[in-house]
Amino acid sequence: MTALLSVSNIGAGFGNFKVLEGVSLTLPQGGLVGLIGTNGAGKSTLFSTISGYIAPLKGSVTFAGEDITQLAVEKRVQRGLARTFQVPREFSQLTVFDNLMAAAPAQAGEKLSALVFARGRVARQEKETGEKARQLLSFLNLERVADERAGRLSGGQKKLLELGRLLMLDPKAIMLDEPFAGVNPVLIGELSERIVALNARGMSILIIEHNLDELSRIVPKMYAMDRGRVIAEGTPNEVLANAGVREAYMGGVV
């Protein structure tokens, strides 16, 4: 499969402290890939480097055939690469529906001149954005809480909402940072179903996750990190059977 996202020999750190050393991985076009590792392995730092929040000390990040290593966060998002964070970042006082509306990019109504001279275009775009938001509410099973303030949602519903906010951007690839953390088992199942459904539609997805059982169930390929390096890659069964991975997790017991 053609690589949509390619990370090559990435190094990153803070001062004299090295967090990543020579990390390489690929996310194929239409791929669904997991990334595991114990706390401190460097997974979230890698995500931040890929998405532009941290500048690498060496190596490169290529997306859709373009070297994006030096691009700002917003430029990477504009090219179709978007991510979530471990802790959802919803607008807690806005409704669930308005959170989705606020995530839509390049809204004409944000410009005063458009409100004055292009009210028809603003109204059409707002209608189209609203329809898209309602479709996502249905897909994510959040219709019943559409008018609730986002801050009142459960942990799992907030993760679903954050996924919806990403999808409002029409990304080519999404990176999910611990989507199952703090989520009850029922909603973990819902999240998994939505992730698999998105991938079936062609969405490329890279997932950091500590819930190894659930991640292994849905991803065909997995990478494992330890101490800032990739130590294994392959199918979930192959990676979890790897001696280095078993040693990293609880002294050899996964």
pLDDT top residue among 103 and 109: 103
> pLDDT tier at 156 (50, 70, 90 boundaries)?
very high
252 band by pLDDT with thresholds 50, 70 and 90: very low
- Average pLDDT estimate for 200-223: 97
Mean per-residue pLDDT, 157-162? 95
More confident residue, 146 or 118: 146
Count Cβ neighbours within 10 Å for each residue of 63-72 and write b for 16 or more, e otherwise. Answer: bbeeebbebe
Q: Report the range of poorest mean pLDDT among 15-19, 147-151, 170-174, 221-225.
A: 15-19
* pLDDT, position 6: 98
Q: Which two tokens stand for residue 107?
A: 């809204």
CB 37 within 8 A of CB 224: yes
pLDDT value of residue 119: 60
Rounded to whole angstroms, the Cα distance separating 81 from 51 reads 7
Q: How far apart are CA 115 and CA 107, in angstroms?
A: 11
Rounded to whole angstroms, how far apart are CA atoms 28 and 192?
A: 19
Count how many Cα atoms sit within 13 Å of the Cα of residue 124 in the half-sphere of its side chain. 5
Write out the two tokens for 51. 């998405």
Q: What pLDDT was estimated at residue 109?
A: 45
pLDDT > 50? residue 111:
no
Which of 43, 149, 37, 158 has the alpha carbon at shortest distance from 89? Answer: 158
* Average of per-residue pLDDT values in the chain: 91
Is pLDDT of 97 > 60?
Answer: yes
Contact 20, 12 (CB under 8 A): yes
Task: Please tell me whether residue 96 adopts helix, strand or coil conformation.
Answer: helix
pLDDT at 157 over 90: yes
Residue 106 pLDDT exceeds 70: no
Domains of the chain listed by start with CATH number: 3-90+171-252 (3.40.50.300), 91-152 (no CATH)
SS3 state at 109: helix
- pLDDT surpassing 80 at residue 69: yes
Helix %, strand %, coil % for the chain, to 5?
45, 25, 30
